[in-house]
Amino acid sequence: MTKSNLINPRHVSMFVTLGLFILLFGTGSVLFYGFFSLQNFWNLFIDNSYLLIMAVGMTFVIISGGIDLSVGSVLALSTMMTSALLEKAGLPPPVVIFLVLLMGTVFGFSMGYIIQTFSLPPFIITLAGLYLARGLCYVISLDTIGITNPFWHVMARTKIRFFGLFFISPSVVIALAMVAIGMFLSRYSRFGRNIFAIGGNEQSALLMGLPVALTKISIYAFNGFCSALGGIVFTFYTLSGYALNGKNMEMDVIASVVIGGTLLTGGVGGVLGTVFAVLVYGTIQVLIVFQGTLNAWWTRIAIGFLFFLVTTLQRIFENRGTGVKQLEK
């Protein structure tokens, strides 16, 4: 029994991302006074909790070999629905939260159902979903709807302090809870393991008797849930609903997942890597703010470049071979 010298990309990329984060944070600390602080670290979570939640959902979609381009628009729809239900319909917070999460789940489920049942390419259906959700935002309102609901204001203002060293917001708790759920699902649930199998080789997964169709549809439903939850968390942050929220956000989410070490071809990846990648994303943004002169859009270019680097490296490793023996065709 021989083993190959193939580098298992599973954990290597994740540590590379962690290393990248440390490098960036370190560089910022050296270059800018006031950069290096515990609070600054936790601010990364406070400012990007919505992104983290959405990226957890997207991680599963990409591991299964699919893609979802609608997440930014579903976030926007979620913010619109939240603010409209609160302000215009006057519904109580628990009802609003439940309905919005339901909307996201149903939206995701519908797309997943169409993709799976009719074997249509995910990118086209979720791209259509993107425009559908965005359009529905405008149906609700073309203008911003400010949120006056007291519960929301409490959530926006609350600081959870830790021994006077630093504080976090409730959204961070929600985000970290989703991360924990994501990590549990991927490691300790059959659902999670099936996702890896499907992403690795869907044909094999089918022949191995795994519930492929059900799992794939559930993944999109779960992702829809995460986008809706991300939207609610976003409203805690902005205290408003605005149809133009989340423009191009799907790119940030997908980039975070991929930079975190999840292979775009599916079957390999993890939630923890995604967390590190979101930290990288947040750090780049803060670096640009601290720098002062650079256009904030450089963040997008930097992320785009990292995305390109990672996907190219993934492709090169793929070409190196996937085993000891090469099969002739």
Partner 1 sequence: MERLRSLTQKRIFWPIMALVVLMGFNLFFTPNFFRLEIKDGHLYGNLIDIIKNSAPIMVLAIGLTLVIATKGIDISVGSVVAISAGVAAMLIGNGVKGDPTHPIFVAVGAALLVSLLAGLWNGMLVSRIGMQPIIATLILLVAGRGIAMVTTNAAIVWLYVRPFAYLGQGYLLGLPFSIYIVILLLVFTHLATRYTALGLFIESVGINNTAARYTGINAKNILLGVYTFCGFTAGVAGLIVCSTVMSADGNNAGNGYEMSAILAVVMGGTSLSGGKFYLFGSIIGALIVQTLTTTIYAFGVPPEIAQIVIALVVIGISLIQSDKFRALFYGIAGKKAVQP
Partner 2 sequence: MQTETAIVEMKKIRKEFPGVLALDEVDFRLFPGEVHTIMGQNGAGKSTLVKVLTGVYRADGGEILLEGNPINPESPLAAQKLGINTLYQEINLCLNLSVAENICIGKEPRKLGRIDWSAMYRQAEKALARLNITIDVTENLSVYSIAVQQMTAIARVLNSEAKVLVFDEPTSSLDENEVEQLFSVVRKLRDEGMAILFITHFLNQTYQISDRITVLKDGRFVGEYRAENLPRLELITKMLGKELTVFSQRARRKGAEESGHPDAPVEAGKRGGGEPLIRAEGLGLHGSVEPFNLKVEEGEVMGLAGLLGSGRSEAAKLLFGIDTPDEGDFFIQGRKKKLPSPKQAILEGMGFCSEDRKNEGIFDELSVRDNIIQALQIKKGVFHSIPKAKQQQIAEKLIKELSIKTPHAGYPVGKLSGGNQQKVILARWLATQPVVLILDEPTRGIDVGAKLEIMEQILNLSKTGMGIIFISSEFEEVIRCSDRIAVLRDREFIAELDGENLNEAKIMHIIAGGK
- Residue 291 binds partner 1, judged by CB under 8 A: no
Whether 240 and 79 have beta carbons less than 8 Å apart is answered as yes
CA distances from 277 to 17, 63, 75, 162, 254 (A): 6, 16, 20, 25, 10
In angstroms, the CA 135 to CA 69 distance is 15
In the set 164, 297, 323, 326, which binds partner 1 (CB under 8 A)? 297
Question: What is residue 326's DSSP assignment?
Answer: P
Beta carbon nearer to partner 2, 159 or 315: 315
x-or-dash string of contact with partner 1, 298-317, rule CB under 8 A: xxxxxxxx-xx--xx--xx-
In the complex, minimum distance from the CB of residue 12 to partner 2, in angstroms, rounded to a whole number: 13
Of 130, 95, 10, 104, the C-alpha closest to 50 is: 104
Q: Per-residue DSSP letters for 183-236?
A: HHHHHH-HHHHHHHHHHH-HHHHHHTT--HHHHHHHHHHHHHHHHHHHHHHHHH
In the complex, minimum distance from the CB of residue 45 to partner 1, in angstroms, rounded to a whole number: 23
- 3-class secondary structure, 118: coil
In the set 22, 156, 183, 251, which binds partner 1 (CB under 8 A)? 251
In angstroms, the CA 221 to CA 61 distance is 10
Beta carbon nearer to partner 2, 191 or 298: 191
User: Taking CB under 8 A as the criterion, which residues in 54-113 touch partner 1?
Assistant: 67
For residue 199, the partner it binds in partner 1, partner 2, none, with Cβ less than 5 to 8 A by kind, is: partner 2
Beta carbon nearer to partner 2, 132 or 263: 263
In the set 102, 139, 154, 160, which binds partner 1 (CB under 8 A)? 139
- Residue 135 binds partner 1, judged by CB under 8 A: yes
Beta carbon nearer to partner 1, 254 or 275: 254
